[in-house]
Amino acid sequence: MPRPRLRHRSVRLWMLVAFVAVLAAAPVQPDLTMSTASFAETTENTSSKAAETRAAPATASVAQSRFPWTIGGAFFIGAVGAIGVISILTANGAGKTERPANPREWSKTDVANAVSVLGTELAKIAGLFADGSSKHARYASALTEMEDKIASVQTPEQLRAIANLLAAENHRMRVETQSMARALEDSQNQIATLRTSLASAEEEVLRDPLTGVSNRRAFDAALRAEVNAASATEQPLSLAMIDIDEFKAINDRHGHVAGDSVLASVAQLLAGHARNGDSVARYGGEEFALILPRTESTAASILAERLRQRLMAERVHVEGVPIALTASIGVAQLRPAEGADQLLKRADRHLYRAKELGRNRVVTTGT
């Protein structure tokens, strides 16, 4: 008879070991409570009311710790947080963002402050992950310790005590992980705000403040990019250079305020009639540029002629005085193995040829 009791006791011990293994891997603590209760009922048929009373707080404690985190889960959350921060820092900012009230007022001090804020947030994030790593290690150590204690479990009360310890560790891990998540969210918000401000400032640097279209810096970058794309895909690319005729006379006769109004009106007309994918820029002074991807010289000349006629029909009113406008336009199409500088020089030559021929016209060549 002793051997059957020993065998039965051995089976019970293995059941306890298997139970704790499931407990360490299970993501939901209420399952632990039910398993403990079920195990107690099957192994002790004569449990006292006092033992049941002692078990009730343990059951409540475990039931309140509904937190689906294991060590792997905690590291997974940490990895998700890291990916969120990296995406904030590297993304190009799809969607609309509000611009600062005075984006052009960014100074060297502003930039230095922005760099300082970014450094602080990155250091904070690194500290959070370092702290989180040590806490995860402590949690793993606690689980290992509980696993060792299971070998000496003899009664349901001892099992409940282990369950209570695990519930307490789980609860603390939940609180600490939630605190880490809040801190990461705060850093993400700081970085997102900074990124929005920097993106707006960068956009303003590439925009002509008077006309609202791209400036020379943006034009140079856009032309190089379009030339590279056209050469790689063997698609046509044309460039139109547009110069307002007799602009100096307009300034001399009507004043610089009128000249500014003329420049703004011309820019609005060009931007309003540009096709999707075209780039409009103020090249300098009274000269504008129009980059026309996937457009051969013939189609570019037709578009330029339409713009010239629309501009000639335009009247800019300054203090009730209508100002008539005309423009000279030079058009060139990108040649094989040609770079951005060569294309720009040819379009400029055609523009000056239009001036020499009497202004208010479009000059182009086949290729």
pLDDT in tens, 223-253: 999 999 999 999 999 999 999 999 999 999 9
Report whether pLDDT(364) > 60: yes
Mean pLDDT over each residue of the chain, to the nearest integer: 74
Q: Which domains can be identified in the chain, with CATH numbers? A: 1-205 (no CATH), 216-364 (3.30.70.270)
At 167 the pLDDT is 83
**259, 247 in Cβ contact below 8 A?**
yes
At 106 the pLDDT is 60
Position 193 confidence tier, pLDDT thresholds 50, 70, 90: confident
Report whether pLDDT(43) > 70: no
CA distance 172 to 164: 12
Highest mean pLDDT among 23-37, 132-146, 312-326, 336-350: 336-350
Position 107 confidence tier, pLDDT thresholds 50, 70, 90: low
Position 126 confidence tier, pLDDT thresholds 50, 70, 90: confident
Mean pLDDT, to the nearest integer, of 284-305? 96
164 or 4, which is more confident: 164
At 317 the pLDDT is 87
Lowest mean pLDDT among 45-59, 254-268, 301-315: 45-59
- At position 293, the amino acid (one-letter code) is P
**114, 194 in Cβ contact below 8 A?**
yes
Element (H, E) at 281: strand 279-284
CA distance 87 to 275: 32
Mean pLDDT, to the nearest integer, of 116-129? 76
Mean pLDDT, to the nearest integer, of 170-199? 80
**247, 285 in Cβ contact below 8 A?**
yes
Report whether pLDDT(189) > 60: yes
DSSP state, residue 319? T
At 176 the pLDDT is 82
DSSP state, residue 351? H
Report whether pLDDT(328) > 90: yes
How many residues in total does the chain contain? Answer: 367
At 112 the pLDDT is 73
Kindly report whether the global pTM for this prediction surpasses the value 0.75. Answer: no
Q: CB-side exposure of 16: number of CA atoms within 13 Å?
A: 25
The residues that are catalytic are 286
At 121 the pLDDT is 75
Report whether pLDDT(216) > 70: yes
Element (H, E) at 217: helix 216-233
